[in-house]
Structure 1
């Protein structure tokens, strides 16, 4: 027997932020980054609240480190708020999740409401039980997985992503596509997660370039914001695959943005999982059939499964080119000597990553090293 449920209440569409009016009179702890404060975006949140009851913790940085989580936990225990709000991209939400989780455990604060307000369209973290925290000394990213990390409420307001710069739109958008495709071919996928993953993937293929091209295309920004959430709902149930297993370790070692890392790897991982070295129309893998189904739904499919997979890979690379993204890690600034020094550690870390367990094809150390070799050079 399988089960599918959604714990997080999702508020989206016009005036979604008005949900915050319900928090009048509550003690609020807001976890965000300095830019949200400097740009005035945090005032979009506090404007619905009683400002004298708000504490703003703006010590969020990309790839949140353990020491900032500890600092945040101390502040939450000190203020004992009724509600914790995460405002920002994946790093802010991940840091807030870890702060919330450990505050509840250490400080005995079980009744706090946890609200996530994403300001990028990429991680889907507002509806997942995952968070990634970095140990800077060891250069390792630790995925946390626990149902207690799920926000109680997610607020999707596309006006908050209207001014996101093009490079961030590209990185986060390709992250959404990777989430959707890995969830879709996961060994834990089911009919309900497939529906969410299909919708998310097709939405990205139709709207990401529009969102990248124009900040004024509100429809495209809104579609991408919703797609990010749907992909998050899917992979929270299915987990991910080798793409993320490698990306977590590349990010920890080389500081390449997570979405960009996923984008570089994605075409190679799709080809690897599809496993179509030999032409045998009777022996297509389940992953190949599902990739081809996505291509068909997006209007880029071919006459058979093989053509559909190839067209999907071609479309991913076309999108990377249109958004001026790197095709290989060499173009991300990773020096050859650093790559050679760290590749074995990356492979070892990827094999130990929990995401690899649900990859649709078994993965060996040699497979990962080959994927890394191709992805480093951008071999097409």
Structure 2
């Protein structure tokens, strides 16, 4: 038996920021980063907040927020009896707010607080998930924090906030959406509900990501990618993820590769691995995952006469998309050296296997498997 709950209320469409005006006589603790705090975005969002409501802004979030960043946010909130926690930004800002919320609840400071998110990128889906990623800088490890205690109560999805997002960031976050949706689709915990959300998100990525990348002000493309991000987040919140994210968390922390980018570099290799492809050859030993990947190829209209053909078509379609988005195809292309690989491979493999996302991968990997996958990503 599976339990499926959608605990986050979504506000979508034009002028969805008007939801903020409904909050009267509240105290809102805003968590964001320095870029948003110094841009026109924060004053624009705050302009919707009723004058009866007091705000305090913590703008110290940094990418891949480390533990001391979370502690700083908690310390900053002392003395401000917040009734609403408002996260504004991409995955790092929302993840930081989730961790601040979690540890704040442990001390009863945020026991009755309402948690609202406003994503300003279209990638992580963090606005609708009970996942948060915290980085331990000393150990160079990312830890997934997974608990319903950090599931947002509300998410305000205003695609106008992502208009004009730079092409590089659009590409990285868009491929992150695709990875979320594909991993959820082949997860061992997938079901009909998560499948429906994953399928729609995958379709949207292949239809609209190119357009959003080429023209940041393409309103329709931005809106659809914003929805794709949320749908993929809802899908993996039900079904979880897989080895792609397990390795991405471990390797990304150690080699300082943006999360969406490392996911994209890994994705074709992980698909081949899960599908049972050995030494570049598509064998007849069809795995359950291969059939699932072939289903994706079919609903995308790709050549999928048999599972092997479907897997090959899907991988080729992803590689073609990544080429159009200028996403590196290898770790060496990003700048990771063979020496770094040899030095870090064991620690990365061990961390990837211990990652909670890996638990729902369709194939149970070994340490040698992870090292082999990474080793092949040097050209």
Q: Is residue 290 of structure 2 the alignment partner of residue 316 of structure 1? A: no
- Tell me the TM-score normalised to structure 1 length: 0.96
Contact 2:21-2:50 at 8 Å conserved across structures:
no
Q: Is residue 62 of structure 2 the alignment partner of residue 61 of structure 1? A: yes
- 1:218-239 deviations in Å (ceiling 9; x for gaps): 1111111101101111111211
| CA 85–305 in structure 1, closer or farther in 2 if over 3 Å, else same | same
- 1:116-154 deviations in Å (ceiling 9; x for gaps): 100001000001101011111111111101101100001
In structure 1, the gaps of 5 or more residues are: none
1:125-274 equivalence runs, <5 A: 125-274=126-275
Contact 1:240-1:359 at 8 Å conserved across structures:
yes
- Tell me the TM-score normalised to structure 2 length: 0.96
SS in 1 for 2:79: helix
Shift of 1:108: 3.5
Contact 1:76-1:103 at 8 Å conserved across structures:
no
1:30-179 equivalence runs, <5 A: 30-50=30-50, 53-179=54-180
SS in 2 for 1:77: coil
Question: 2 CA distance for matches of 1:272 and 1:57?
Answer: 43
Shift of 1:44: 2.1
Question: 2 CA distance for matches of 1:78 and 1:351?
Answer: 41
Contact 2:60-2:69 at 8 Å conserved across structures:
yes
SS in 2 for 1:58: strand
In structure 2, the gaps of 5 or more residues are: none
Residue range with higher mean Cα deviation, 57-66 or 15-24: 15-24
Contact 1:206-1:298 at 8 Å conserved across structures:
no
- 1:288-309 deviations in Å (ceiling 9; x for gaps): 1111111111122332222111
Contact 1:293-1:301 at 8 Å conserved across structures:
no
Aligned to 1:338: 340
| CA 272–279 in structure 1, closer or farther in 2 if over 3 Å, else same | closer
Question: 1 CA distance for matches of 2:303 and 2:292?
Answer: 11
Shift of 1:87: 0.3
- 1:37-80 deviations in Å (ceiling 9; x for gaps): 11110112210114671111100110101111111112223201
Aligned to 1:349: 351
Question: 2 CA distance for matches of 1:142 and 1:78?
Answer: 29
Contact 1:77-1:107 at 8 Å conserved across structures:
no
Contact 1:276-1:284 at 8 Å conserved across structures:
no
Aligned to 1:5: 5
| CA 348–108 in structure 1, closer or farther in 2 if over 3 Å, else same | same
